[in-house]
Structures are given as structure tokens and as C-alpha cells.
A and B are shown apart, each in its own frame.
Chain A
């Protein structure tokens, strides 16, 4: 089950905790993986860890339009095709609504939503031709619940859900699936920086009473990227320890 041998995958934001975990899991299932991110050293370290085979490093800054346009063709050339696109890259520019600057809004929408749109558009072309494709968009629980201080982030993540559904409907007849994963609170440098009180506040909202792991998000990604998930499309899979149920 969930064997990805021979599949070709591109993971954006692979230098982050979540993206790294996703790249590791896809690779472990046998996929060829192109890892994209802004920090070269982190990408190289991940590539070293995964070994010499089936890994390609593509340094990219998704806030730059040209870089976004170039990413899928570059990955397709390196991998010899593209079966799985994981739109994982994301940034935060938190601020209270009344203080939020246009630049903070625009930056988050550009990377978290517009880049995912452009990358998907580029990827769908080849996927349609090959009559196979899996797009997995990494959203967030706050796209469904909202979160104070994150109007930009929540809007972008909710936007991903709508895009996922509309695109899924358009390309379903071509054997392409498009789904979203909505992580809750996941162990990361961001959650490591929380103090005890903040931590308790968060855990109080999670019935499972613990933070999630990157590996748990990666496992959901492997599932949605697999042949076995071929009849699942347009869905959002919430992986959040029960903190919000849909």
C-alpha cells in the first residue's frame, strides 16, 4: 500500500519542518523527490540525509514571480516528469487586523496562495497530458477556524481550500486529484519558541493533548499522493488531534 516507486514529486518549502518531513516520507515510499526552498544549506543537508539517489535540489524563492514560473519546468526537467506536487511553502506575517500593513497581506497571499496557483497551473499541463496527477495543498486549521492576528494567513489558507475544490472539479476527468491537508498545531521551531503558558493554552484546545508531528502530516500527504487515494479529490483532510472537527 501507498507505494510511490517511480513517482516524481516536487515539494515546496522543503527547508521547513513540515516540508522536510513530507519530502522524507515521499522519498521513503520510493518517489523521486525535487526539494525546493529558499535556504540552500538546509536543502543540501536534507538531500545528504536522503542519500544520493532520487533527490534533486532546486533553490527557489516563491516571493519572486520569475522563480515561481521557473520552478515546475526545472523540476520536470530534473525528474523527467511530475506526478505529485506538494504546495507546502508558506510564510507568516502576523499582525492585528487594524495594524496589518498592505505589504504583510500581499506577501502572505503571494507565497501561500498565488504561488500555489501558479505552480499548480504549470504542473497540471503535463499531468493532464499524462493522465495522472496528485496535487496536495498544505493548508491550515486556521483556514477553517480563523485565528486572531492572522487574517492574511487564514485568508490565504481558506483560499487554498476553495482553489483545491474548483481545480479538483475541473481536472477530475483526467485522473488528477487535488486535495488539501489542514494541519493543526505541529511541533516546529515556532511552537518550540512558545513559553509554558502559551503551550498550555494551545494544548487546552487539543483533545489529544499534544502537538502533532511533521511525520503525521507527511503520512497524510503520502496517502493523498498514492494510487490508493485515486477516488479522493477536492477534500480537506484535517490532521489536528481533534481540535476542530468537520
Chain B
């Protein structure tokens, strides 16, 4: 199966020439490094600040650690609060990702491979969701979640997050599923597979790259989500990391170094996920944006 999808890539590859990359214009590197520096410096400030003492930070706010201290990071890493918030964020992120992938894949399959009267309308409905960002819906959403008795539960943030991630997911996945050659479906049907059998045996494995893209996007969005937890999670026991960072920052506002250590540790998972799958996500985005 894989070869069928990979076959056309040979032509794609011919477009970008792979032979040895020349060093090119030095000015390019100067500007590129300057830009990368601007992007990275504030992040380094946060990470390095965690290795300093408050005294160091007060005396020399923009200096480097000297001597390096591990105390701040250690004190965060041994605290129950931090790990509870990591667990909450992880559970919410994983449930959101699962929900988005399962619901999104099923709906995208229908939109991509079934011919029916309301197909266009259904696509428009989800596409219109892009114009309903969470900000607009947050006040009534809060009331809705409260009436459903889901306040202070992770379910209360997972369900809306799934719903709000569906438009992007569907817009990315539909072209993927549509690109699966008709011949495969016909072959499967001749071999006696039903539409549903085709879905599970062929579509799910073949759409894996797209699924990874939307999965990572959903996970990172959930991991970083702030506004929804701010409304729904009022009990400290249910806090996710972004709320935790903010609570920690106001609770220990004098202990800047520890706040910086807490902040750096909380961004690690999203950064790792993203660096691993950057290429894939950009590929998915490109397809969606060119629409």
C-alpha cells in the first residue's frame, strides 16, 4: 500500500535538488542568526533564570547564572503541586487528542469518500467553526459546562476543546483521505471488504501522517490552553499547568528564580513534541492553508 502513495514523491523530489548545499551569502547567516537570537533570547532568559538565585537576579537582571544553582529546579521537581498539574495537563491533553482524532477521522472519512446531498453543507458547517474562536463562546460555554455539572473536572475542558479543534482537524484530514486512490477502495471492495472494513483496514493506516499532524496540534493546543481552564477550573486540585504557572507566579511573586524554574519545566513537553514533529505539522498546515 505504502508504495502507492510514495510512488509520486519521486517527481516531487526532483524539484528540490538535493546535491551538496553551498554555503551561500554570509549576510544571510548574519540576519538568520540575529533573528533566531531574538526568538530564543527570552526563552533562554526564562530557562537560565531558573539556574540563578534571587539575589543574582536582583543585582544583575540580565546576567548569566554565576554560580549555577539547581535548587530552584529541584524544589519544583519534588513538589506535589507541580506533578499534579503535569498529570492534569497530560490527562486533558491525551483525552482531547484521542477525541479529536477519533471524531475528526470519522467525520472526515464521510466528507471525503461519501457522496450525499448534505455533504457540502456539512463541510461548510465545520469550516464555519473557524470563525467561532473560543473567546466568543466562553461566557455561555461556562454556563453550559456549569449546568452540565462539569465544573472543576477535566471533562469540562476536554469536551469543548475537542469541539473547537474539529474544524481545523477536518480541514486538514479531508484532503488526505480524498487523496487515497480510488483503486484501493475498489480493490478492497472486490476482496469483500465493506465500507467500514475499508475505513479501519485501509483509511486509518494510510492517513497516519495527517492524523499525527492533527494529533500533535490538538495536544499542544490543549497543553497550552488558558482561557477555558481559567473559567472552568476554579479548584486548585484540578488546575492544569498554565493555571498553575500563573498561580505559582502570583503566590511566589518575590521568588522570581523559582517562578522561572517552574515556567521552564512547564514548557518542556510541548517543545519536545513540537521539535519532533515540526516538519509534519508544517506539511499539514500547508495543505490546509492553501485551500
Bound pair: A and B?
no
